[in-house]
Structure 1
Amino acid sequence: MGKSIRSIGAGLKAAGRSLVTPATRFRVGGVPLVCPLCAHDEFDRRSMLMNTTGMSFFGMDWLNKSACALVCRKCSRIELFADTPDERS
């Protein structure tokens, strides 16, 4: 039983990691994006569901819009964007 639970946990962690893109640099409105907290310029990109109380009340969270979440690789600050910023090299 213990091995099964550990295996399930390991699988869930791997699935979570697969949803994260490699560290990337981004540009927003033509300006290179840097973290406002630590000035680092590498971020992990994730999609984040923007829950609303109305949809949650009716159990229809899946109808909510999603946002692009960029997580700073250095300090873990999260920045949200309605549209995905452009990647830069």
Structure 2
Amino acid sequence: MAKPVRAALGDVWITCVVCRGDLFRDREVKLNSTGMELFNFAWANESATGLICWNCGYVHLFANKDIELYKVKKGDG
């Protein structure tokens, strides 16, 4: 089972644009392009950090590599 994380870009904490929640599940998401898929170069596509809202499930994508993820300590969620 995935553990919740909080996320920030610099000193700005990220909240869900739908429900304003601040807990997320994270995963890497490939940003596939048709041309790269056509020539079997999908492995070379750029990736993004996907943050899935723990509360409502809305998926946020961040191509910015400066995003920081922070594990939520037990009892802090």
Superposition TM-score, scaled by structure 1 size: 0.70
Q: Which residue of 1 aligns with 2:69?
A: 87
Q: Distance in 2 between the 1:24 and 1:79 partners?
A: 13
Q: Distance in 1 between the 2:20 and 2:9 partners?
A: 15
Q: Distance in 2 between the 1:56 and 1:33 partners?
A: 32
**Higher strand proportion:** 2
**1:59 matches 2:44:** no
Query: Cα distance, 1:84 vs. partner?
Result: 5.3
Note the alpha carbon deviations across 1:53-85, whole angstroms, 9 max, x for none.
Answer: 110111221111111100000111111111251
**Which deviates further from its counterpart, 24-33 or 43-52?**
24-33
Assess if the C-alpha contact under 8 Å between 1:55 and 1:64 holds in 2.
Answer: yes
After TM superposition, which residue ranges in structure 1, 4 or more long, deviate above 6 angstroms? none
Assess if the C-alpha contact under 8 Å between 1:68 and 1:84 holds in 2.
Answer: no
**Structure with higher RCO (Cα < 8 A, 6+ apart):** 2
Identify if the C-alpha distance between structure 1 residues 84 and 78 changes in structure 2 by more than 3 Å, giving closer, same or farther: farther
**1:25 matches 2:6:** yes
**Which deviates further from its counterpart, 46-55 or 79-88?**
79-88
How many residue pairs were aligned?
70
**Higher helix proportion:** 1
Q: Distance in 2 between the 1:87 and 1:49 partners?
A: 18
Q: Which amino acid aligns with 2:67?
A: P
Superposition TM-score, scaled by structure 2 size: 0.80
